[in-house]
Amino acid sequence: MREDRDYSDIPGTYVFDPHHSMLGYHLNMFCMSLNEEANRDKFQADERAYLEGFSLTPAQQTAVLDRDWLGMLRLGGNIYYTFKIAAFDGLTMQQVGAAMSAVAAAEFQEMMVHGGRAIEGNRYQSEWDANG
Amino acid sequence: MANLFAGIGTSHVPGIGAAMDNGKAENDYWKPLFDGYGYVRDWLAKEKPDVVIIVYNDHASAFSLELIPSFAIGVASNFPPADEGYGPRNVPAVEGHPELAWHLAESLILDEFDMTMVNKMPVDHGLTVPLSITCGESEIWPFKVIPLCVNVIQYPSPTGNRCYQLGKAIRKAVDSFDENLKVAIFGTGGMSHQLQGERAGLVNVEFDTAFLDDLTRDVDRLVKLPHVVYLRESGSEGAELVMWLTMRGALDDDAKEIYRHYHVPASNTAAGLIILENP
């Protein structure tokens, strides 16, 4: 599958493309199952046992159990799917955004209130590399 | 004959629905956003469309990775609010318009837009938040709705140009529907936002402003924007803006802007709203 994509140089961004979709199918379908209350109850009762019912890789299982939001994205998760786990935990999208960009939730919220993350300096990976 | 008279572009941030559902619309954080919605509610109450075609995307609610239609049209008479993982929103069920929806499906497919036709489709915040924004709290939605769902979750989504051309075909179909109906169309999603990754929280006011401007000044520029420009400039989820181009395509070339509102932030998103009317 083509790797040199025109969006590959966008920093901190995991485009849910065919490659990611293949990697993350089972992970995302586990998340999808949380749309049903009965399944949320089962997941609540025993997360590890519930996950066994889906064909996740060990790394994906660990990422879910650890609530490693970036890890899930890297392993094929899509944010609209993985956010169902966050909602299950009672987290907001801002709290998850903070965790993924490695800042405190209050700091992330402050950034959003002041206009969000600026586009300047955040278009290309090379800009991030230059700024360490 | 049916008459498609206007279009609305609006964000569909779930937080906006949650703020209304939890009585937070008047607090310091949300009030500046909601203050901009009064105009559209008054306008819609005055214009009283019979049917609104809502172009939106499903967020792992009705569809999953099991089946990913690029364009789907809801032909049912009723669409219940979806449970997206935290219980369904406490809003009225959406009433469809099967006759017009089937007419649209038939006309669009014969016009070479191969729609997926859907009879069973719970609708998520992508559709119900625009209704809340434009109608406020309501016991019953004041018009019938035809949900038109576009895949923007699995890359690649249809191109901006394809979405725009679909709008043109929708207009042709509405124009040929043999019943006196007043029809509006909503394009939803956007504006700039990125929910995921280390770049989460991205907002690009310049991009959004130019997008709002060019819906009337330079539609050709918008129609030609490739996916990578949306991804880079408006964020990975800002790419939802292609759905606004379906709304734009359904209007006259010389449609006029009569209102806009733009506010940052609604949760992690730049929330935009625009009303366009045919002359």
Partner A contacted by B83 (CB < 8 A): yes
Q: What is the DSSP secondary-structure string of B16-49? A: HHHHHHTT-TTSTTTHHHHHTTHHHHHHHHHH--
Q: What share of chain B in percent tops pLDDT 90?
A: 99
* Cross-chain Cβ contact A13/B199 below 8 Å: yes
CATH superfamily label, B3-277: LigB-like (3.40.830.10)
Is the pLDDT score of A74 beyond 70? yes
Any chain A CB within 8 A of the CB of B159? no
Name residues whose C-beta falls within 8 Å of residue B237's C-beta, 6 or more positions apart in sequence: A79, B193, B194, B195, B196, B269
Which pair of structure tokens corresponds to residue B135?
Answer: 């109608």
Q: Over 90: is that where the pLDDT of B75 sits?
A: yes
The per-residue pLDDT of chain B, averaged, comes to 97
Task: Decide: helix, strand or coil at residue B169.
Answer: helix
Chain A, nearest residue to B194 by Cα:
A13
pLDDT at position B264: 97
Residues B204-233 have pLDDT tens digits of 999 999 999 999 999 999 999 999 999 999
Confidence at residue A81, expressed as pLDDT on a 0 to 100 scale? 98
Residues of A in contact with B14 (CB under 8 A): 93
Instruction: Tell me the shortest Cα–Cα distance from B86 to chain A, in angstroms.
Output: 6
CB of A79 within 8 Å of a chain B CB? The answer is yes
* Closest residue on chain A to B155 (Cα): A17
CB pair distance less than 8 Å for A97 and B66 = no
Share of chain A above pLDDT 90, in %: 95
Contacts of B81 in chain A (CB under 8 A): none
pLDDT > 70: percent of chain B: 100
**pLDDT at position A13, please?**
98
For the annotated catalytic residues of B, the residue numbers are: 125, 193
> Which candidate from B65, B82, B196 shows the least CB-CB separation from A14?
B196
Q: With contacts defined as CB-CB under 8 Å, which chain B residues touch A115?
A: 203, 205, 264-265
The DSSP output letter for B254 is T
> Left if phi > 0, otherwise alpha if psi is -120 to 50, otherwise beta: which for B190?
left
pLDDT digit string (tens) for B9-53?
A: 999 999 999 999 999 999 999 999 999 999 999 999 999 999 999
Q: In one letter, which amino acid is A120?
A: E
Q: Is the pLDDT of residue A2 over 80?
A: no
Amino acid identity at B165: Q
- How far does Cα B17 stand from its chain's mean position? 14
Q: In the structure, what pLDDT confidence band is assigned to residue A1 with cuts at 50, 70 and 90?
A: low
Substitution target from A37, A100, A128 for chain B, most B beta carbons within 10 A: A100
Domain positions in chain B are: 3-277
Domains (range + CATH), chain A = 18-90 (1.10.700.10), 101-132 (no CATH)
Mean pLDDT, rounded, for B88-111: 97
- B83 contacts on A by Cβ (under 8 Å): 35-37
Q: Give the model's confidence band at B98: pLDDT under 50 very low, under 70 low, under 90 confident, else very high.
A: very high
Determine how β-strand B256-266 pairs with β-strand B51-56. Answer: unpaired
- Residues of B with Cβ-Cβ distance to A6 under 8 angstroms: 226, 228
The answer to whether B32 contacts chain A (CB < 8 Å) is no
Q: Taking 90 as the threshold, does the pLDDT of residue A3 lie above it?
A: no
| Three-state secondary structure readout of chain A | CCCCCCCCCCCCCCCCCHHHHHHHHHHHHHHHHCCCHHHHHHHHHCHHHHHHCCCCCHHHHHHHHCCCHHHHHHCCCCHHHHHHHHHHCCCCHHHHHHHHCCCCHHHHHHHHHCCCECCCCCCCHHHHHHCC
